[in-house]
Amino acid sequence: MKQYTQSIEAFKEALKHIPGGVNSPVRSFKSVDGDPLFIANARGAKVFDIDGNEYIDYVGSWGPMILGHSHPDIIMAIQKTAAKGTSFGAPTLLETEMAIQIKKMVPSIDSIRMVNSGTEATMSALRLARGYTGRELVVKFEGCYHGHNDSFLIKAGSGALTLGMPNSPGVTSGTAKDTLIARYNDLDSVKDLFIRYPDQIAAVILEPVAGNMGVVIPDLEFLKGIRELCTRYETVLIFDEVMTGFRLSKGGAQQIFGITPDLTTFGKIIGGGLPVGAYGGKQEIMDKLAPKGPVYQAGTLSGNPLAMAAGLTALKILDETEGFYDTLEEKSARLGDGIQKCLDDLKFPGVLNRIGSMFTLFFTEDAKVSSYADACRCNTTNYARFFKMALDSGVYLAPSQFEAGFMSAAHTTKKIDKTIEATYEALKVLKN
């Protein structure tokens, strides 16, 4: 058994000063009935806690760390940039360079605005869609998470789902009534809303691959159908690619499925580990933003030079490394196939959903997990037990059934095989 005494002490102290001891809820390990690890440092695929334990990391800071932790080029870029000053509140060349790089990788983007988090990106994209269409309603999907804006904290995924609070107190009934809920992979549920509100829906927002109820993969027909409905009803289609952008391919999920949204939101990888978000898309829509247009959105630290330097370095590596996403797919397939074999060999009931470097092992008796309702039927008690055994054998997974695991370029075959072994041993214990 690993010793976690320093982390336990640190958490006790943090609880006195920080709500729930953490600055983001799902970090608390509450749903797996434990105390969170306090991280001392991380390098490559490994994180080290303050007790000196080391882990193979599949949280990856919840998505950004596709190149592994402490990538030398990114650290160097941050240090070099910091030496010149950390914020000016005036334009820098890095911001234009970043915009050009994103446009090159994601062809649906004509113009892009940088913000400071994924939450800010989706909030601003929704306001822009409303300003552009002159309509008020937004359609979101059960179990999708778009950050913690009021409009999206209704049947929300991620920590809200993990901690059993998909509808948060503090969201006014006025806001809640402007958010319509549809079911993922259920095109009829979207059609019904358009039939009821044909000229009132400003935007449909979704994770083009859901990662915040665990990984749930869309049917191509579902995505195509939504695109057609949005075109027909002149509604802005927003792909929230905060998680999938630059992860599933250079051009994100939209490239893989061949669907072009009107607006796209980014975060996570785009900041190379610093706090960044962005939203962009069709020129005609983006032109409505201030100072060119009437829709207001601003930010003191938006386009911050350190964040731009880190993000731009990350994106360039992803763009310029020959076969980057093929190699990442090979590693991810090795892990995915390995876990699937554990399930098969042990005849353990479970579903592994994987697409590229995103995966979730669902503890369910069902044959597939393709919706929020399916995800909700999972045995979270078994997940918690599995999580703890994995942690004790040196594998750091998300402390929640309803999250994605992330592979990075820094995960070696050896680490992947060790992870599969740990998975096998933990499932064997659970089986008995």
Ligand X SMILES: *Cc1c(COP(=O)(O)O)cnc(C)c1O
The binding site for ligand X (CB under 6 A) comprises: 117-119, 122, 145-147, 207, 211-212, 240, 242-243, 267, 277
In the bound state with ligand X, the residue whose beta carbon lies nearer, of 277 and 350, is: 277
Residue 157 C-beta: closest distance to ligand X, Å = 8
302: Cα separation from own chain's centroid: 20
Catalytic member of 240, 331, 396, 424: 240
| Strand extents, DSSP E, 258-308 | 263-266, 277-281
CB atoms within 10 A of CB 193: 20
Length of the chain: 432
| Secondary structure letter of residue 152 according to DSSP | G
Respond yes or no: is residue 250 known to be catalytic: no
Residue 115 or 369: which CB sits closer to ligand X?
A: 115
In the complex, the smallest distance separating the C-beta of residue 242 from ligand X, rounded to whole angstroms, is: 4
Catalytic residue among 268, 279, 372, 415: 268
| 219 a catalytic residue | no
DSSP state of 51: T
Q: Please, what is the minimum distance in Å from the beta carbon of residue 140 to ligand X?
A: 11
The strand pairing partners of 206, in sequence order, are 239
Pick 53 or 265: Cβ nearer ligand X: 265
To ligand X, the closest distance from the beta carbon of 175 in angstroms equals 17
Q: Residue 64 or 350: which CB sits closer to ligand X?
A: 64
- CA dihedral of residues 24, 239, 403, 113 (deg, nearest 10): -30
Give which of 65, 46, 58 is closest to 332, Cα–Cα: 58
**132 catalytic residue (yes or no):** no
Minimum separation from the CB atom of position 251 to ligand X (A)? 16
Query: Which CB sits closer to ligand X, 24 or 413?
Result: 24
- Helix locations, 213-251, DSSP H: 220-232
Give the single-character DSSP code of 52.
Answer: S
State phi, psi for 428 to the nearest 5 degrees.
-65, -40
Q: Before 91, cis peptide (omega within 30)?
A: no
Contact 415, 74 (CB under 8 A): no
Burial of 176 (0-12, 13-18, 19+ CB in 10 A): middle
Catalytic residues: 145, 240, 268
